[in-house]
Chain A
Amino acid sequence: MNLYFIKSQDFNDFVKSLVGSKKVIGPKAKKHKFVFDRIELPEDLRLDYDTTILPPKKEFFPTTQKLVEFKGNHYNGCINPEEKILFGVHFYDVKAIDMTDHLFREKNEDWNYLANREATTIVASNVQTVSNRAFYGSVGTEVKPKGHDAYLTKLKDGYLYEAITNKGEALVKFGKFDKGTDSHRKEAEEINNAVLKKCPESLKYGTKEIADKVRKSFDKKEVWENAAHDCFSCGSCNVVCPTCYCFDVQDDWNLDQTSGLRSRYWDACLTEDFSKISLGAGATENFREHSADRFRHRIMRKATYLNEKLGGPACVGCGRCSSACTADIADPTKVINKIMELR
């Protein structure tokens, strides 16, 4: 890993030169919120964002992704990755991307995701503004961010750029960088540690304790019914989650009615039809029929089911679900802290 330093007054030129020669996706203001979008002007890049509406996973796993194109009975795959730089990703989203990397790679490698991922250079950046529902200071703290190519931290007089991989190193030539020093590294470390203590919300217990107790509370019907009482089954909590990766696969005809696409669409386990099957003659079976079953499934999946595979919970504490929930019941800290206090 090499350390580089760039002065504040030179940073704009670095971004300008980068967006002038590469496709750069970064945090951008959209009304009073932020989104990951194409950056064409350096002033559009808002590294002071708190969090984005949708997580950056959409760059590898788009909301709608073509899988197979067909014409009659002839068909082709649609894997066609585009090189890009994902700039300004907060550490919690880096952790989430590392999880989806693992999940799309394990057992059956899904190159529809992995090819996009490999074509992307990720430049992480420090959190400058803490969002009002964040709890990343207390969730899965044993899981460290990895998989990113560089890490940028805003210091008092400039930015420290830690080049972690060759892909990260390759961007240094676009700016007027000097060698970073130990004191820069120390300053960055303090800044990155300090932010963890500024989260407005927190989990009161560790990963293992939570996983065990939440898992054991599966049959506490009343807990889940109360928690999900106001749930609209809209799936917003799933849609904004950086570690949710469920999808539906559907075929669509083109206007010519002879050709078309098989695509995958983001899906949400909170929606009523997610586990429903048809038995014929109008009969159906829904394996998670009630909103409480689905609400529980989401919490189980975030706090216990995937822990063994991921080395920690499938939640990074971004707080997007808490903000997106219409009824404001999705907040994992509220649900989990309550379960932890049960006898």
Chain B
Amino acid sequence: MSCDKCACSENKNGQNYSNIFLPKEAKILRAIQATQSERHFTLQLANKEKMKFEPGQILEVSLFGYGEIPIGLASSPTRENTFDIVIRTVGRVSAAINKLNEGDSMFIRGPMGHGFDLPLLRNQNILVIAGGIGLCPTRSLIQYIMDRRSEFKKFSLFYGAKDPSQQMFHEDLKNWRGSSDVSFYETVDKGDGSWKGNVGVITTLFNKTQIEPDTRVIICGPPIMFKFVIKELDKIGVSRKNIYVDLERRMKCGVGKCGHCQINNKYVCVDGPVFSYADIENLEEAL
């Protein structure tokens, strides 16, 4: 007997208990080495069901014997019955998962948390600002907007990477560069011999285009980036309630219990990872 909340199949003392820690199996349909340290997986639930999720939500991804890590969904629910994640090799769990290949399984719990508020973004001008690996969770929204382009007004995308070798999603980049559906601007902190694009921090991209003050802005990147980007947005006059940030924290449970991701009275895994900047700008320890 299993319950509908999770993959549990417990029947002890005549009672069924749902167990929020029981994961579901997911099969790897495609595994690409995105950069030297990041691996891009396309997954499907082992039971082939379509996973319901919203752009910006997260998963707890695991491999038995190694452990679990929180990872943002990197694809839009508008795409098939598969989903993408990108994992950077940083520790024991990520190193083990990044050795997996097509046909192998990993285990997931979720989707969890509060993603992008689509009703508040529809029919608006949108600017996504993604720094480094911050492109992964925002890709779930970028794909969504591209797939339902008519539901949104002007769409701009800023992407910054440390250097050209750190750029990810090459197919996407190629599409975005040539697409009239998105005004795509990219930069690298440090170029190489073949790089002909912009060199400089992500805020240098603000000079390349006109951002309307009523634009809804989504920011995801390293903690240091937020401060400088928000300074630029202040200059343009973007209201803080129209700025959304996607935060990263240590998370062990993903269900608002274990305490690791707590910022004041908020839990990033349940109340976030996407927050309105107005809601957290006065929350110490948030940014």
Residues of A bordering B, CB below 8 Å: 67-68, 70, 72-73, 75-77, 79-81, 103-104, 106-112, 115, 218-219, 245-253, 260, 262, 264, 267, 269, 274-281, 285, 287-288, 293, 297, 300-301, 304-306, 308
Contact = CB atoms under 8 A, between A and B. Distances in A.
B17 A79 contact: yes
B192 interface: no
A275 B17 contact: no
Contacts of A276: 250
Task: Give the 5 A-B CB pairs with smallest separation, nearest first.
Answer: A246-B259, A77-B19, A108-B255, A111-B17, A278-B90
Contacts of A285: 223
Given A76-B10, A249-B253, A305 B259 contact: no
Contacts of A304: 265
A247 B253 contact: yes
Given A107-B256, A247-B252, A248-B258, A280 B88 contact: yes
A111 B265 CA distance: 23
B201 to A, nearest CB: 17
Contacts of B84: none
A285 B258 CA distance: 19
Contact of A79 (B10, B257, B285): B10
Given A106-B256, A260-B64, A293-B285, 16 more contacts: A67-B21, A81-B12, A108-B20, A108-B257, A112-B20, A219-B284, A248-B260, A251-B65, A262-B64, A262-B67, A274-B260, A277-B248, A280-B90, A281-B37, A301-B262, A304-B265
Nearest to B270: A107
B interface secondary structure, majority: loop
Given A67-B19, A79-B12, A276-B250, A260 B65 contact: yes
> Which residue, A73, A79, A248, A308, has most C-beta atoms of chain B within 10 A?
A79
B249 interface: yes
A214 to B, nearest CB: 12
Contacts of B250: 274-277, 287
Nearest to A73: B105
> Which residue, B20, B262, B264, has most C-beta atoms of chain A within 10 A?
B262
B259 A267 contact: yes
Interface in B21-44: 21-23, 25, 37
B222 interface: yes
Contacts of A111: 17-20
Nearest to A118: B15
10 contacts: A68-B19, A68-B64, A72-B64, A73-B64, A75-B22, A77-B10, A79-B19, A247-B257, A247-B258, A248-B258
Interface string B252-287: 110111111011110000100000000000001100
Contact of B252 (A73, A103, A248, A287): A248
A174 B257 CA distance: 38
Contact of A246 (B10, B12, B25, B258): B258
A308 B266 CA distance: 12
Given A277-B248, A293-B285, A245 B21 contact: no
Contacts of B246: none
Contacts of B222: 279
B66 interface: yes
A288 B255 contact: no
A76 B9 contact: yes
Contacts of B10: 76-77, 79
B270 A249 contact: no
A300 B285 CA distance: 13
B22 A245 contact: no
Contact of B260 (A275, A281, A301): A275
Contact of A109 (B20, B25, B67, B265): B20
A210 B82 CA distance: 50
A262 B88 CA distance: 22
Contacts of B15: 115
B186 interface: no
Contacts of B263: 287
B242 interface: no
A109 to B, nearest CB: 7
Contacts of A264: 252, 258
A260 B67 CA distance: 11
B12 A75 contact: no
